[in-house]
Chains A and B, each alone.
Chain A
Amino acid sequence: MKAFRYERPTTVEAAVRAHAGGALLKANGIDVLDRMKERLDQPDRVVTLVDVPGLDRVERRPDGSLSIGAMTTLATLAASADVAAACPTLATAAGQAASPALRNRATLGGNLGQHTRCGYYRFASFRCFKRGDADCPVQAPGGVQEPAGIFGIDLCACAHPSSLAPVLAAGGAVAVVASAKGERRVPVAALYEPPARGKASDWVLGEGDVLVRVEVPPVVAGSHRVGYEEVRQKAAFDWPLVVGAVWVAARDGVVADARVWLGAVAPSPWRAEAAEKALVGKPFTAAQAAVAGEAAVAGATPLPGTAYKVELVKVVVRRALVAALERRS
């Protein structure tokens, strides 16, 4: 790791200033240290959020919604009674991610901001469109494709690593971002944009943008149901192969509104709109869950090495919907 000057603000304003001035932003550093050790990032200045008080707070507000500070750890999310009550799938996803030692450090902000795990991206000796090269070696003959995506992969084929982002997007969560111009609110569903050459991260936050907290509307018992399902190669200590998160509003057994989000299948969290359409206006049943699972792969353009993910998506969406259907809350 190259030597750097360490800037430790005690206010969000000072963090914004330092980040706007070109310092690399670090939360607890799990992803940032990896990138610096590999010399993908070689900053002269690093600004950290570890000394800013109050960013690790989880609050249940009077309307039942959650306000989760960006520095809240995944272990805290998994163990919080407030999170379990207001958005149980977030607690599940956080509790299944990574490993106990990582969850004790991994922050929500860092989880949403982590860069892709694509093996080509992660080693500077490979070519990579995201790091500025003209093409993507995953698509080239002999490219290692298995971890890659199946949707929206024409320029960069990577899979978004966060298992929490699809849950938050499905739940209608909003990211609150501080910058020199003040605070702005960005729905998690709009937090990522399509890949661009030389743009390492696909999220919309730029220099000077600091995620302060994420607000999650409550899952209202009797009206809303949520489900989460993931498939992993190993039961723990790795990123998932496919993630499915669903949010369903049903009245008298009929679906009034549905949101179906997928993780690890596209460069960004992926909204399965066709699956949502397959649900709305129909009875909320296990049979309809299977129909929605089939619909979820509409528009997939798998590579030979990622074709297996098409089948996983169908299963994951069906299971997440069945879990939502059966959840007693």
Chain B
Amino acid sequence: MGRTGHEGGGPPGLSRRELLRGAGLAAAAGATLLPAARALAADAPADLRVQGPDAVELTLTVNGAPRTVAAAPRDTLLDVLRLPLDLTGAKKVCDRGTCGACTVLLDGKPVYACSVLALDVAGRSVTTAEGVVGGAGRAVADAFVAKDAMQCGFCTPGMLVACAAAVAEHGPSLTLEQARAATAGNLCRCGTYPHVLEAALAAAKTAKGR
């Protein structure tokens, strides 16, 4: 299955992203009609639900709006956000929970989307960097620009989400120590940490108190 975006090319005139997104939707339609899958579910005991191995329908709230996608048990939340939802803010860098580039909010709390199975968060609320910029975290994003808090930008969406969570939690009382602790799980290879922390503190000053 190529939906994680690692596999090779496609027909000319169609971007790989479009092609793969199309394949994902087709898989969704197939899964809901598959008689074998339904039979399996009917056989299962009352205290056991079985999903997959093929894609099943998954509904979750993403950046405030309900979204329904096809997801297989092995798809991570990060896979589903980037393809098919086309929210590419969260980056797949280590894919092992060791860098923070894929940080998103799950019910308001930071988690690594690469280390969460998509089907585990059915019905829950996910906020990506896009949602932070378009919502309550706008001031944090503006502070990142004002304080020049990025170089290559690869860690930036994850840093932004982590900082927005810290600002939301602590408000104007956010301390340097707290901002440091909140971003302890976000690595920056370019070393922009001082500017990131400045941006978080600047944004916190403009935030409403709790």
Contacts and interface: CB of A to CB of B under 8 A. Distances in A.
Interface string B95-126: 11110100100100111100111011000000
A46 B52 CA distance: 10
A37 B115 CA distance: 10
A29 B74 CA distance: 11
Contacts of A4: 52-53, 73-74
Contact of B184 (A9, A36, A99): A99
A5 B50 CA distance: 7
B47 A13 contact: yes
B45 interface: yes
A48 interface: yes
Contacts of A17: 48
B45 A100 contact: no
Interface in A1-20: 1-11, 13-14, 17-18
Contacts of A50: 120
A101 B112 contact: yes
B210 interface: no
B49 A101 contact: no
A28 interface: yes
A133 interface: no
Contacts, number: 108
Interface size class of A (residues with CB under 8 A): 35 or more
Interface string B72-100: 11101000000000000000000111101
Contact of B74 (A3, A98, A105): A3
Contact of B115 (A3, A5, A29): A29
B187 interface: yes
A7 B117 CA distance: 13
Nearest to B166: A100
Nearest to A50: B120
B181 interface: yes
Interface string A11-53: 1011001100000000011100110110000001010101100
A275 B162 CA distance: 42
A126 interface: no
Nearest to A46: B73
Interface in B32-67: 45, 47-54
A102 B112 contact: yes
Contacts of B152: none
B184 A102 contact: no
B110 A100 contact: yes
A298 interface: no
Interface in B159-209: 162, 181-182, 184-187
B1 interface: yes
A308 interface: no
Contacts of B116: 28-29, 105
Given A2-B74, A4-B52, A29-B120, A237 B98 contact: yes
A10 B44 CA distance: 12
A30 B12 CA distance: 38
Nearest to B109: A104
Nearest to A73: B109
Given A3-B52, A8-B50, A100 B182 contact: yes
A171 B204 CA distance: 40
Interface of A: 1-11, 13-14, 17-18, 28-30, 33-34, 36-37, 44, 46, 48, 50-51, 75, 98-102, 104-105, 235-237
Interface of B: 1, 45, 47-54, 72-74, 76, 95-98, 100, 103, 106, 109-112, 115-117, 119-120, 162, 181-182, 184-187
8 contacts: A4-B73, A9-B49, A10-B47, A30-B115, A33-B76, A101-B111, A105-B115, A105-B116
